[in-house]
Amino acid sequence: MRATKEVKSPTHVIVRVEVPAEQVSRKVEELFRRVSRQIHLPGFRPGHVPRAVLEARFGKDFLNEDAQAELIEEYLPQALQQLQLRPVSPPQTKPGEFDPHKDFTFEAEIEVLPDVTVHSYTGIEIEDEPVQPVADSDIDAVLERLRLEHATLLPKSERSDLVEAGDIVEVKIADEEEVREWRVAAGELSEQLIGHRVGESVLLRTDDGHELRVRIEGVKLLEKPDLEELAKTLGHEDVAALRAKIRCDLEESRARRRERALKLKIIDAIVARTPIELPARFVESLVAQELERLAERGLPEPSAEDVAKLRSALEQRLKRELVMEAIKKQEGLALSDSDFEKLLEEEARQRDMNPIKLRALLEREGQLQSFRDDLEDERVLQFLYERAKIIPKES
């Protein structure tokens, strides 16, 4: 086999493959033997139909298309490996003239990701993202969420089985056997149950005009712990200590979000100054996959404007990945196997898992390489962040 390539653009390559006549003849003979076992003709046992008989009945070239297809399927991957090409979308092939006794030549149009070279990526100036101070109301909101998480469900007494806001109501939807638990909250469908009692059948109406009949099977009271009890449950000396821990957690979380936002601003600034041509068919396949995922989730069909925004976001994400990959190579930031194993062990400790089990889990789910890629991407972002110039935001 002989393979050559012609680079039409950074994302478009034409691969030409020439298969020797000997291999072509061998493939045709293999097909004839395979077909002779499948075709039943009077007077011949399966697998023993002479080739001359098959050619006389079906024509000498009746297997030519199959032979071309199988030769392309067999030799194209070999050619791509030899030329070190990695298609990002299905190759579009074009067979040449076919003669079972001559060399067979075919072409394949290949879409590839471009080789990106990035210049001037240190000392990037970006405007700071000030961290919003943690207010007492923020801490109060977290406390309320924690009280709900540690609340106890208690049945209401017979004298007060009236549904009120915040109750947990056991309902059975018409024509269903399963009993569901709904929390009665303002602005939700369950709000229409307020004022009804156990045993009543209630017709609920949705915003889009649909009706749903349910029967109230029971009402439970959500008893939330007081703050002192909550603090003790969570291992804190008192409410003040719990509030201090929540404040610290919120401040750390907001600081991480600020840093993440700055890192994305840095990489986007580098993307903006780096010319990158993206493979068009590959981008469209990404858009189609995302639209399919949205449809599977039952979301309404997006407008043309929404699709355009989705395409733009996917293109930006792909450009970020290409830029980070280029900087990783240029700066030698790829993880060594030993460094990766150390980070894997650290992740296992955070998850309270055995490192061997974590590796096995990631491998089983096909996530081991993506986990490594994410670690290397973060390494690149940290490299850029430490060398950027953060300018205070003007008031």
Phi, psi values for residue 317, rounded to 5°: -60, -40
Average pLDDT in the 300-310 region?
92
- Residue 159 predicted with pLDDT over 70: no
- Single out the residue in 111, 137, 172 at which a domain terminates: 111
383 and 269, same structural domain? yes
Domain count, the chain: 3
Do 188 and 106 belong to one domain?
no
pLDDT(112) > 60: yes
> Is residue 40 situated within a structural domain?
yes
Q: Is residue 126 part of a domain?
A: no
Least confident of 41-50, 81-90, 181-190, 317-326: 41-50
| Residue 195 resides in a domain | yes
Lowest mean pLDDT among 72-76, 81-85, 297-301: 297-301
> Do 209 and 302 share a structural domain?
no
The two structure tokens encoding residue 165: 């806001």
Task: Give domain status of residue 176, yes or no.
Answer: yes
Tell me what pLDDT residue 47 has: 55
Give the domain-ending residue among 188, 203, 223: 223
Residue 240 shares a structural domain with residue 217: no
Of 78, 111, 144, the position where a domain reaches its end is 111
Q: Per-residue pLDDT tens for 142-156?
A: 999 999 899 888 887
253 and 329, same structural domain?
A: yes
How large is the angle between the packed helices 355-364 and 368-386, nearest 10 degrees?
Answer: 110
**136 domain residue, yes or no:** no
Clarify whether residues 255 and 382 are in a common domain. Answer: yes
pLDDT (tens digit per residue) in 258-276 = 999 999 999 999 999 999 9
Pair (102, 210) in one structural domain = no
**Domain harbouring 271, CATH code:** 1.10.3120.10
Name 357's Cβ contacts closer than 8 Å, sequence gap at least 6: 348
217/264 same-domain check: no
Q: Are residues 269 and 353 in the same domain?
A: yes
DSSP per-residue string spanning 126-142:
EE--PPPPPPHHHHHHH
**What is this structure's pTM?**
0.77
Q: Phi and psi of 327, rounded to 5°?
A: -65, -40
User: What is the pLDDT confidence band of residue 395, given thresholds at 50, 70 and 90?
Assistant: low
Task: Verify that 244 and 211 share a domain, yes or no.
Answer: no
272 lies in which domain range?
A: 235-391
Q: For the chain, how are helix, strand and coil distributed in percent, rounded to 5?
A: 50, 15, 35
**Secondary structure letter of residue 186 according to DSSP:** T
Whether residue 368 lies inside any domain: the answer is yes
Give CA–CA dist 273/247, Å, rounded.
Answer: 39
Q: What is the CATH number of the domain that holds 12?
A: 3.30.70.1050
pLDDT in tens, 29-70: 888 777 766 565 655 556 556 556 556 555 567 678 888 999
CATH number for the domain harbouring residue 168:
3.10.50.30
Question: Do residue 95 and residue 177 come from a single domain?
Answer: no
Do 384 and 244 share a structural domain?
A: yes
Please indicate, yes or no, if residue 247 is contained in any of the structural domains.
yes
Domain presence at residue 15: yes
